[in-house]
Structure 1
């Protein structure tokens, strides 16, 4: 796959963030992280040795084929740079390493907003206003807004089914039995999972928690699900219905992944998500910047 089709491109000396910048994350795949002369270096699969400016990076995202030494982890912790383990292009999120020295400013802000009914409802209204700009949300309670959302989303599914002339019997998801549902639902499930992986990486990179949500609750990643709804219409729902006839009854993982990446690149999802989260949480700074 060429860099032009990649959500996150290969790291080179030229593509590294400048020392003047605070960079949310850096993605690495197929190589080794180790320490030489007290600095962290990336040894890629082509034999290049690239020093990483870890003091300017919030999080390293380690993709397929990566390894890291114990000494590199210690040096990253000392520089307050966290580590997450992800699938290719962050389309899956596996785990995150939490730093004992991490600045918790953004996490505290998220907790503060979610713990106060008034501020939490304001965040909810911002989320819904982004998706439904014509809706009257002033004075609406959370249950009322969720009810409005349910109606609009059901209408959206039906609209897309008619637009792409696809049969639609409703959203279906059977955990562990992906192949038992129709093709449209399979693409929806796969693209949703990819979106969740990307957003989970971004949330961790900025120092927020995916477990503290505002609309969703009682689920593993409520904040990620809150954010995902901002992008699902184009990235997941329209994609699923537009691909259904082309797939002709046979799910094709490579095609779905490629089309998802194309759309994510078109909307500059990574930069958009960072900006949206920062705006929603009222934060002007990244996790690592101290006063």
Structure 2
């Protein structure tokens, strides 16, 4: 059995489909399955068990002998969440329990970290484990992810193989439930559909023109290919960036969404909301040489390719992956 936590969520549900496509059906989906909207993400997919998140540690103790791999991707991912107790419970303490279970039962582990750990990038974006203590995340979510990375590296006992994946700006099908936290592509598509135009955030940084804020946007299909690679690789434990290695502008993102819809761009700018303005990343880019050095050689979608596939094959029809 292969375990996927956060299975009703965005990346996890796409991973479930990837595993199905590769012939894996004995999957254990772990999540809080109370959201009918999120549960649509795994409709039609094949799996053997559903386990409530609160019951999972007890479940793995009873079923570890039949388990071959754990993808721990479940987390509270809202970057505007300021309930430290909730983030500590879900992103830190729960992840420690999963880690310790993997140690106890000899199970390999891939878990979700985040590029939010890098903050404004004062220390750069290298996935160098020696610099974790120097990082300055901009929000409690990023802090919770960095705390766990630091904790994991300090443990005297670790799973025989483990990898923490620093996801950059992931976009693609099955993010429909994410609301404000969904990708700008989804917001652009929805705005074009409703009004025929897109309003991007202004720049409040003199180094960047409006719309030229840059992020490393990575298509979810590339993300799940990397996760699948690690399921078979099972060596070179550590923390890895997962982006494309190429920063692009929000203007590029919106323009390509219009193009995928065969529409002329109609883009204007509005002030960045004050609650995120002081904690806004103007540039992120994932150095990817660490992943490439261990043998990963699948090409990543360009922004143009990813946006076109997402818009034309999923958003227009409302399809799930």
Q: TM-score, normalised by structure 2?
A: 0.29
Higher Rg of the two aligned structures: 1
Q: TM-score, normalised by structure 1?
A: 0.32
